[in-house]
Structure 1
Amino acid sequence: MNQALLLPLLVPMFAGALLAMMPARRQTWQRGVSVAASLALLPVAVWLLCVADSGAIPVVAMGNWPAPFGIVLQLDRLGALMLVLTAVLAVAASVHASCGDARLGRHFDALFQFQLMGLNGAFLAGDLFNLFVFFEILLIASYSLLVHGGGARRIGPGLHYVLINLVGSSFFLIAIGILYGLTGTLNMVDMGVRLQALDASSQPLAVAGGTMLLLVFLLKAAAFPLYFWLPRAYAGATPSVAALFAVMTKVGVYAVLRTQALVFGLDTGPLAGFMHGWLWWLALTTMAVGAIGALAAREVRVLTGYLVLTSVGMLLAGTSLQTYDAWAAVLYYLPSTTLCTAALFLLAGALDTRQEPADPALERPAGKAGGRAVKRPGMRMEGALFLVAIVTAIGLPPMSGFIGKTMLLRATLGPGAPAAWPVILGASLLLLVAASRTGSRQVWSAPYVRHGVRSPGRRVVLRRWKLACAMFLLAGNLALVLFAGQVERYVDATAGQLTDTPAYRQAVLGTPAQGD
């Protein structure tokens, strides 16, 4: 059964390789293979979630080399949650891309699958070096996906994104080298055991390596002051790419949670001071900057980029508290904000009235093009979906964002409350103002330039499929509300499992650490 952990890697890997070899003229086949592979990931991820919910930690030793000498893949409740979230996003984004985005360039579908492979691998990796390897796989794919379709709006931010992530990858390797030199291992569980046994003279170097590693993860998460690349990059990407990228920043948050639980320990670890001090204030600043930036947004996709930034601040604030309740709140809020912001990115593609239709095959021939300002057909549906998504993203009742923020506010009762509560509530107020203004301008009262098309019936069908993708993601937010009790039970168990390091040592190393 443990070999099933390879499926989230093998499905997108073989699908991506097949798509890369398919001839360019077989675009319909490419769309079908990509959507089918994404759909296949969803039942696999749900099944692994059921396996993880039993409390077991399945481990696969690649090449039959036992840990800590070989490469291991491990599955726990946190990894299974992220796999399901990624699979849900993959289904919506791949179907949406098949309606137009994928036609803007070559090899989109192959890169999309390799991106999924990197994401799934990062959530299953049991050692730091393979976490780095899967980070690079998803980043290399994201470089091309970000500039997919070309244009100045994508090339400039895409170049900044590439450069800053190359620098981050370099520091990632340096940090791994420092920690490996101190402990002689790359396995996260084994490294955590050996860091606890370090003598006092080696502690400063361990703090330096660990701090550098966390700063790399904060760069991936786009925390202040390393966030400047995110708003423009996400706003310029095609809608389906931006929707998948909604989980990219959460990979950084996931890596912080994972390394704090397994490698550096909690309040007694070498980075406890950084987590409770520096990271706490950086998270609150990230939240405030995201809310202020949203006030200047004039487009839905730019607004959504700042919503992502604000949610990163929320997640990191809860992570820095390093308490059971705070981590449970983070794990509930994470899928909620990811699903609603991804839905907003998909809606933004339909709501951007200033661009021509994305599919050249649907435009009227040259010399016959023209348009007139009319009311968008079905605007009520798009406006309703925007309202549901924005209420969830801001954290207003009765949607899942409100439940997640309430859980986090309850977890911050204590010394951090005087700083956290004004920032969280003030940021929500600013986001409400920004969303109301942007929605009024671009959603509810904006005119629509209707272009002549050769096949209007097909255009309507494609539009309905795009809206269905956004509805599918928002249905996930609704499920988080309807099944809030079951979800809260799961995230509570996940937070408890993350703090149960002896269980990981038993599952990965075979024996619990001495003294446990």
Structure 2
Amino acid sequence: MLQHLSILPVLLPLFTGALLLLPPFSGTIQRQRLLALLSAVLQVFVAFWLVYDIQTNGVTQYILGGWQPPFGIVLVADPLSSVMVALTTFLGLGALSYSTGSHDRAGGYFYPLFMFQIMGINGAFLTGDVFNLFVFFEVLLIASYALLVHGGGKQKTQATVHYVILNLVGSSVFLFGLGILYGTLGTLNIADMAQKISELSGSMAILAKIGGLLLLVVFGLKSAMLPLHFWLPKTYSSASAPVAAIFAVMTKVGIYSILRIHNVVFGDEAGELANIAQSWIWPLALLTIAIGTIGALASPGLKLLNANLVILSAGSLLVCAALQNEAATSAAVYYMVHSTLVAGGMFLLADMISRQRGKAEDRFVVAKGMDNPIFLGIFFAIAAIAIIGMPPFSGFIGKVMILQATQSAAEHVWVWPVLLLSSLGALIALSRAGTTLFWRKANQKQSDEKQVIHVGEWIGVVMLLIASPLLALFAGPMAELADSAAAFLHDPSLSVDALLTSPLVEGGR
């Protein structure tokens, strides 16, 4: 069983999605809910078991078909990929729990599509070669196209058209980049690419640089890096709540890919091509933070505000990628977990608030009072404090880790003011939002019909938002996990050499 552990996060959602399309599950929503939730719980258990196994026994390679690296398809479960898989499955469980309220009834095939989405995201984190990264990108994107329009509506359709066109262009650029890199290196296995990249010179090095920068464009699009961020606010704010929640991890796939490819393949050991992306990422990361902050301040509603805060968090993570040291990567891992769960929970909370404010929905205007102001207010405060980066929640720890990762005087001068001013901007935006939503009430008679919050919706919101104080409470063990992931990524003897030599190749561990 243990030898197959690293492929289970891909197989479980794949088989669950396939079963949900067949009788007897395809007939009733109740059976689909039960199977999907049971599978999601099992996926969380497997993912956390995988994290424990990697920390205890070391990195695992799963070699499909018996073709040894670098020639075959290989999945690599290391400290970084296992943490990201655990994050995805936990976020997925919270979003699925919330969907049991009413969102799963808005259209057909919600649960199968959701499972295929999870499968694509998990596969992207676990794959050991860049071509299969492209394959899993396409799987998660195809599922996301359908999930975006789930339930219909003009706004969703319009946002989906923009999203689909941009990602089709991104997929084409991805293929061009892969073709160039394969032509120059003769391999797309990440570890093998990292070994061969330093041997290139002259025109071949120039071609490989073009291929690497094309991949940066694709990953920048996925991670909402300026100027490729403009698709995100409208797309995320128009999606249904559970879909927007799982989309909170989508930008992290782009960040993860930048860390994985540009740290390992184009890192310090890449000779002429060392750190080719750093000079591009630096200004774009800082500008992404700035545009996310401005967008948050200008947002007319809570969903759009949260979408712009996702861009802000993406910029903060891109700063870690630009710093390109072990401390910064460790900070990025911790901050990815924090920001993903809080953003996912905030999208769910925004939907709850929207439904309780009548025609005003989530817009920052005077409206009728809410039916559950205490519960919603408490969790809005938790989310806001975590997003701003104030103590005692995880956002404070994550931002302190990022600030501490700066080493030179120039890094201090650029990173500290931008990051702290963005926190001030988030504080102003969220203070305005909370004041308007919870304190400014219209003088009108309350309706006798009250909005009932489904128990699954309660569980989903509590699961994701209570994670922030828990991440702060257990910051020590979580920081150790993040340090382990960063050490693996920055040590070529672990992230490159060990994956191409025995005993990993021979025994799979």
TM over 0.5: yes
Question: 2:9 aligns to what?
Answer: 8
Asked if 1 retains the 8 angstrom alpha-carbon contact of 2:199 and 2:271, the reply is no
Question: 2:506 aligns to what?
Answer: none
Question: 2:424 aligns to what?
Answer: 429
Q: Determine which of 215, 220, 232 is the counterpart of 2:234.
A: 232
Alignment of 1:308-457 (within 5 A): 308-352=310-354, 353=356, 375-414=369-408, 415-446=410-441
The superposition leaves residues 384-406 of structure 1 with CA deviations (integer Å, 9 ceiling, x where unpaired) of 10010011011111111011101
Pair 232,193 (structure 1): closer, same or farther in 2 beyond 3 Å: same
Deviation at 1:276, TM superposition (A): 2.8
Deviation at 1:410, TM superposition (A): 1.3
Deviation at 1:24, TM superposition (A): 5.3
The superposition leaves residues 58-96 of structure 1 with CA deviations (integer Å, 9 ceiling, x where unpaired) of 111101111111101110000010011001101100011
Question: 2:471 aligns to what?
Answer: 480
Q: Determine which of 159, 162, 174 is the counterpart of 1:160.
A: 162
Q: In the alignment, is residue 471 of structure 1 matched against residue 462 of structure 2?
A: yes
Gaps of 5+ in 1: 359-372
The superposition leaves residues 433-488 of structure 1 with CA deviations (integer Å, 9 ceiling, x where unpaired) of 111111222244346997676xx7xx6351x4313311111222112111111111
Partner amino acid, structure 1, of 2:11: L
Distance in 2 (CA, whole Å) between partners of 1:56 and 1:25 is 44
Partner amino acid, structure 1, of 2:98: H
The superposition leaves residues 196-228 of structure 1 with CA deviations (integer Å, 9 ceiling, x where unpaired) of 111333111111100101110010001000000
Distance in 2 (CA, whole Å) between partners of 1:444 and 1:97 is 28
Asked if 2 retains the 8 angstrom alpha-carbon contact of 1:295 and 1:433, the reply is yes
Distance in 2 (CA, whole Å) between partners of 1:55 and 1:218 is 34
Pair 416,461 (structure 1): closer, same or farther in 2 beyond 3 Å: closer
3-state SS of the aligned residue for 1:74? strand
Asked if 1 retains the 8 angstrom alpha-carbon contact of 2:268 and 2:275, the reply is no
Q: CA RMSD for the aligned pairs?
A: 2.1
Deviation at 1:160, TM superposition (A): 0.4
Asked if 2 retains the 8 angstrom alpha-carbon contact of 1:351 and 1:443, the reply is no
Pair 450,47 (structure 1): closer, same or farther in 2 beyond 3 Å: farther
Worse overlay, 281-290 or 52-61: 52-61
3-state SS of the aligned residue for 2:464? helix
Question: 1:296 aligns to what?
Answer: 298
Alignment of 1:264-283 (within 5 A): 264-266=266-268, 268=270, 270-272=272-274, 274-283=276-285
Worse overlay, 106-115 or 276-285: 276-285
Alignment of 1:94-133 (within 5 A): 94-133=96-135
Distance in 2 (CA, whole Å) between partners of 1:165 and 1:391 is 33
3-state SS of the aligned residue for 1:256? helix
Gaps of 5+ in 2: 362-366, 504-509
The superposition leaves residues 108-143 of structure 1 with CA deviations (integer Å, 9 ceiling, x where unpaired) of 110000000001101110111111000000000000
Alignment of 1:136-215 (within 5 A): 136-215=138-217
Asked if 1 retains the 8 angstrom alpha-carbon contact of 2:264 and 2:492, the reply is yes
Partner amino acid, structure 1, of 2:452: V
Aligned residues: 493
Partner amino acid, structure 1, of 2:471: L
Deviation at 1:168, TM superposition (A): 0.3
3-state SS of the aligned residue for 1:416? helix
Asked if 2 retains the 8 angstrom alpha-carbon contact of 1:261 and 1:501, the reply is no
Distance in 2 (CA, whole Å) between partners of 1:9 and 1:104 is 27
Pair 34,61 (structure 1): closer, same or farther in 2 beyond 3 Å: same
TM-score of the superposition, structure 2-length normalised? 0.93
Distance in 1 (CA, whole Å) between partners of 2:66 and 2:270 is 34
3-state SS of the aligned residue for 1:73? strand
3-state SS of the aligned residue for 2:370? coil
Q: Percent identity, please.
A: 42
Pair 44,450 (structure 1): closer, same or farther in 2 beyond 3 Å: farther
Asked if 1 retains the 8 angstrom alpha-carbon contact of 2:198 and 2:269, the reply is no
Q: In the alignment, is residue 18 of structure 1 matched against residue 13 of structure 2?
A: no
The superposition leaves residues 282-311 of structure 1 with CA deviations (integer Å, 9 ceiling, x where unpaired) of 000000000001111121111100110000
Question: 1:256 aligns to what?
Answer: 258
Asked if 1 retains the 8 angstrom alpha-carbon contact of 2:97 and 2:459, the reply is no
